[in-house]
C-alpha cells in the first residue's frame, strides 16, 4: 500500500478498495431507501419517455411524412403522434423535477449523517491524534472532502444513473430499429470503456495526492496565520512564504496531472464516438445500396433519422459518465480521508471500565452497580512509567500519594515531566507501566467521562468560547443556574471586572476575544471550575503569564477554589507552592526530592537551588 506523509500525518494515497469505498459512501443514503427507490423510478421514467420521443421521429417520417408525400393523410393519427412526442418531452421534464427534488433531499440528509458522525468521532478521538495532525488538515475533512462528496451525491449519482439507463434504453431502441447497425455501434463500447478505465487509473492516484496536499496547504496556512506575531518578531516572512510556495507547487503539480488526465479522456471518447457515427452511417449506406431486405435490418428514412439521433445521443451519456467518473474519483479521494479518520479508535475503545460516577443527595459516589464508594479525592501513583513515543521515556518509576484535601505541588525545570503527570491523572494519555488509583479504584476501571467529572483543570492558556460571559462560566456545569454562575464569579474574584463590562454577565465575547486580558480570561477559567465544584483540582502554570497584581487576584480565587479539594499545582513561581502539603521536585522524568517547603530547604538540594535562584532574580 503506497502511503504519503504530510507534516507528521500519514495517509493512504488511494482507497483500500474502490468498490468498497463506493459502497460505504452509499451507506449514508440508505436511511432514505423509500425516497431513493422513488428517485430511481423517476429517473427511469424521465429517460424512457425522453428517448421514446426520439423513437417517434421514425414513426413521424415513415408513418406521417411519407404518406403525405404520397398524397395519403391521416390527420387524426398524425395529431396523436405529434401530441405523443410533445407529451414525452413534457413528462420527461416533470419526472426530472421530481428526481432532482428527491435526490437533493436524499444527498443532504446523507451528508448531515456523515458530518454528525465525523463530528462525534473528532470529539471522541484521543489527544494523540491532535498531537500529530494540524487543525487545518483536520478541518479540510469538513470542508473540501465533504464538498467533494456532496458534489458526488447531488450531481454525479444522478448523472451516472441517467447515463447508464440512457445507454441501456438507447441500446434497446437501436436493436429495435436495425440490429445490424446496432451490432456495429456496440463494437465501440468496449473501446470506450477501456479508454475510460485506462485514464481513471492514472487520475485516481493524483486525485488522492491532490486532496492530501490541499489538507497540508490549509494546515500550514492556519499555522502561519495564528503565529503572525512570532513570524514578524523573527522576520520569517520570506521563509514562511518559501515553504508555502513549496507546498503550493507540489499541490499544483498533482492538481495539474489529475485535471489534465481527466480532461484528456473526454476528447478521446468524443473522437471514438465520432468514428462510430461515421461507420454506422457507412453501414446504413451499404444496406441501402445493396437493398438488404433482412427482417429488422431494413433501412428506411425514419429508421435512419432515428438511428442517427440515437447514435448522437449515445455519445452524450458516455461523455457524461467519463466526466462524472472523474468527479467520483475525486470524491472517493475525499471519502477515503474521511473514512480513514472515522476508522480510528475512539479514546474509550480499549477501556475496561467498571465504575462510573453517580450523584445522590448532593454527594458523589463511584459505583459498579453493586458497591458504592464515596468520592473523596484520594489519589495514588505506584511505579508509573510513561512515554509519548515508544522507547523515549518521559516518566520513570513515579510513586506518590495525595490524601483528600491535600495540596501537592510539582516543581522542576522545563521538560521534567510535571504536566505529563497531570495528563495521566486526567487520562488524556494512558500509562505504560504501573498503576494509578482514585479512592482505591484503579483509574483504568473507571469510565473516562465519569472520572473527568471528578476533577477540573485551570491551564496556563485559557480557552473561551463564543457566547456570553455567563455561557462560558456555565460551561463547567450546564445545569448551573444564573445565581450559581454569579456565585462562581464571586468565588474566583472575576465578579469585579465582569460587572464593569457593558452587559455584565450577559456581555457577548468571541472565542478569540482580545478585549479581555490574560488575567481576566484566567479568572473566568477559575469561575468555570468553581461552578463544576469537583473534589480534585489541577492547576497547571495558572499564573505564569500574568502580572504580579493580577496574580494576587488569581491566587485569591484559587485559594477559594482549593478549599476542601485535593489539589495538584504546577508552578514556576515558587511563591505559589510554598504552602503545599508536599512538594515533588522532578528532573528527567523522576522525582528526585519530596517534602514540604521547610524540609526541602533543609536538605539544600535541587529545590534549595531553585529557591536561591528565584530569590536572586527577585
What does the pLDDT look like over 554-566, one tens digit per residue?
Answer: 677 677 777 788 9
Residue pLDDT, tens place only, 351-390 = 678 888 888 877 888 998 888 999 999 999 999 999 988 8
Q: pTM (2 decimals)? A: 0.69
Residue pLDDT, tens place only, 19-30 = 788 888 888 887
For a pLDDT cut of 70, what percent of the chain falls above it? Answer: 89
What gap in Å lies between CA 20 and CA 14, rounded to an integer?
12
CB 458 within 8 A of CB 539: yes
pLDDT of residue 13: 40
Given a cut of 50, is residue 10 above it in pLDDT?
Answer: no
| Backbone dihedral angles phi then psi of residue 553, each to the nearest 5 degrees | -65, -40
Residue pLDDT, tens place only, 280-319 = 778 877 777 777 677 777 777 778 788 888 877 777 787 7
pLDDT of residue 386: 93
Average pLDDT estimate for 174-189: 83
CB 409 within 8 A of CB 577: yes
CATH topology of domain 3-9+29-342: ABC transporter transmembrane region fold (1.20.1560)
Lowest-confidence segment of 65-69, 100-104, 328-332, 338-342 by average pLDDT: 65-69
Residue whose C-alpha is closest to residue 525's, from 453, 460, 447: 460
Which residues is 569 bridged to in the sheet? 409, 539
Given a cut of 60, is residue 476 above it in pLDDT?
Answer: yes
What is the CATH number assigned to the segment(s) 357-404+414-576? 3.40.50.300
**In the block, residue with C-alpha cell 465519569:** 450
Average pLDDT estimate for 453-467: 81
Q: Tell me, what DSSP letter sits at residue 590?
A: E
Given a cut of 60, is residue 15 above it in pLDDT?
Answer: no
Given a cut of 70, is residue 74 above it in pLDDT?
Answer: no
DSSP string, 104-139: HHHHHHHHHHHHHHHHHHHHHS-HHHHHHS-HHHHH
- With b for 16 or more beta-carbon neighbours within 10 A and e for fewer, the 123-157 pattern comes to eebbeebeeebbebbbbbbeebbbebbbbbbbbbb
pLDDT of residue 591: 92
Residue pLDDT, tens place only, 28-38 = 887 788 888 88
Cα torsion 548, 553, 558, 560: sign: positive
pLDDT of residue 195: 78
Given a cut of 60, is residue 7 above it in pLDDT?
Answer: no
Instruction: Provide the grid cell at 229.
Output: 506575531
**In the block, residue with C-alpha cell 440508505:** 30
What confidence category does residue 400 fall into, taking pLDDT thresholds of 50, 70 and 90? very high
pLDDT of residue 570: 86
Given a cut of 60, is residue 8 above it in pLDDT?
Answer: no
pLDDT of residue 146: 87
Residue pLDDT, tens place only, 199-239 = 777 776 777 778 778 878 877 877 777 777 677 766 778 88
Average pLDDT estimate for 155-179: 86
Given a cut of 90, is residue 590 above it in pLDDT?
Answer: yes
Question: Domain locations in the chain?
Answer: 3-9+29-342, 357-404+414-576
What confidence category does residue 543 fall into, taking pLDDT thresholds of 50, 70 and 90? low
Amino acid at each position: 500500500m503506497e502511503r504519503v506523509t504530510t507534516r507528521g500525518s500519514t495517509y493512504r494515497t488511494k482507497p483500500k478498495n474502490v468498490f468498497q469505498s463506493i459502497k460505504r459512501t452509499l451507506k449514508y443514503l440508505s436511511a432514505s431507501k423509500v425516497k431513493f427507490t422513488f428517485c430511481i423510478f423517476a429517473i427511469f421514467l424521465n429517460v424512457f419517455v425522453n428517448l421514446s420521443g426520439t423513437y417517434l421521429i421514425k414513426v413521424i417520417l415513415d408513418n406521417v411524412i411519407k404518406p403525405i408525400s404520397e398524397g395519403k393523410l391521416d390527420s387524426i393519427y398524425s395529431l396523436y403522434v405529434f401530441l405523443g412526442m410533445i407529451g414525452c418531452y413534457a413528462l420527461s421534464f416533470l419526472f426530472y423535477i421530481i428526481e432532482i427534488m428527491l435526490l437533493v433531499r436524499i444527498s443532504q440528509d446523507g451528508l448531515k449523517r456523515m458530518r454528525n458522525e465525523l463530528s462525534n468521532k473528532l470529539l471522541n478521538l484521543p489527544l494523540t491524534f491532535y498531537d500529530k495532525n494540524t487543525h487545518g488538515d483536520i478541518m479540510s475533512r469538513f470542508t473540501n472532502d465533504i464538498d467533494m462528496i456532496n458534489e458526488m451525491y447531488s450531481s454525479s449519482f444522478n448523472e451516472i444513473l441517467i447515463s447508464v439507463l440512457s445507454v441501456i434504453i438507447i441500446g434497446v431502441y437501436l436493436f429495435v430499429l436495425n440490429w445490424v447497425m446496432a451490432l456495429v455501434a456496440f463494437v465501440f463500447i468496449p473501446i470506450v470503456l477501456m479508454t475510460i478505465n485506462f485514464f481513471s487509473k492514472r487520475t485516481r492516484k493524483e486525485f488522492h495526492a491532490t486532496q492530501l496536499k490541499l489538507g497540508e496547504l490549509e494546515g500550514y496556512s492556519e499555522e502561519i496565520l495564528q503565529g503572525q506575531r512570532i513570524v514578524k518578531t523573527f522576520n520569517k516572512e520570506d521563509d514562511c512564504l518559501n515553504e508555502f510556495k513549496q507546498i503550493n507547487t507540489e499541490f499544483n503539480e498533482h492538481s495539474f496531472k489529475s485535471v489534465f488526465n481527466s480532461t484528456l479522456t473526454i476528447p478521446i471518447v468524443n473522437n471514438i464516438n465520432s468514428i462510430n457515427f461515421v461507420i454506422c452511417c457507412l453501414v446504413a449506406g451499404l444496406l441501402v445500396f445493396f437493398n438488404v431486405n433482412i427482417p429488422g435490418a431494413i433501412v428506411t428514412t425514419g429508421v435512419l433519422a432515428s438511428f442517427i439521433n440515437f447514435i448522437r445521443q449515445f455519445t452524450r451519456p458516455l461523455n457524461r459518465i467519463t466526466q462524472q467518473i472523474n468527479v467520483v474519483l475525486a470524491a472517493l479521494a475525499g471519502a477515503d480521508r474521511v473514512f480513514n479518520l472515522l476508522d480510528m479508535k475512539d479514546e474509550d475503545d480499549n477501556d475496561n471500565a467498571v465504575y462510573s460516577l453517580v450523584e445522590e443527595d448532593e454527594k458523589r459516589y463511584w459505583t459498579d452497580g453493586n458497591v458504592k464508594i464515596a468520592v473523596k479525592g484520594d489519589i495514588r501513583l505506584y511505579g508509573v512509567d510513561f512515554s509519548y513515543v515508544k522507547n523515549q521515556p518521559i516518566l520513570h518509576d513515579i510513586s506518590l500519594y495525595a490524601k483528600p484535601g491535600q495540596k501537592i505541588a510539582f516543581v522542576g525545570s522545563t521538560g521534567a515531566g510535571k504536566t505529563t503527570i497531570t495528563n495521566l491523572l486526567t487520562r488524556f494519555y494512558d500509562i505504560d507501566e504501573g498503576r494509578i488509583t482514585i479512592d482505591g479504584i484503579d483509574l483504568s476501571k473507571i469510565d473516562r467521562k465519569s472520572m473527568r467529572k471528578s476533577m477540573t483543570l485551570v491551564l496556563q492558556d485559557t480557552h473561551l468560547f463564543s457566547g456570553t460571559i455567563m455561557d462560558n462560566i456555565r460551561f463547567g456545569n450546564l445545569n448551573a443556574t444564573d445565581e450559581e454562575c454569579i456565585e462562581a464569579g464571586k468565588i474566583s474574584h472575576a465578579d469585579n471586572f465582569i460587572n464593569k463590562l457593558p452587559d455584565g454577565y450577559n456581555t457577548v465575547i468571541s472565542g478569540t476575544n482580545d478585549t479581555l486580558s490574560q488575567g481576566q480570561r484566567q479568572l473566568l477559567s477559575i469561575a468555570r471550575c468553581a461552578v463544576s465544584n469537583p473534589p480534585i483540582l489541577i492547576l497547571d502554570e495558572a499564573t505564569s503569564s500574568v502580572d504580579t497584581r493580577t496574580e494576587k487576584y488569581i491566587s485569591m480565587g484559587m485559594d477559594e477554589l482549593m478549599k476542601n479539594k485535593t489539589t495538584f499545582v504546577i508552578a514556576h513561581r515558587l511563591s505559589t507552592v510554598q504552602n503545599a502539603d508536599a512538594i515533588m521536585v522532578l528532573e528527567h522524568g523522576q522525582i528526585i526530592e519530596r517534602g514540604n517547603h521547610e524540609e526541602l530547604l533543609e536538605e539544600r538540594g535541587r529545590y534549595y537551588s531553585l529557591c536561591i535562584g528565584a530569590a536572586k532574580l527577585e
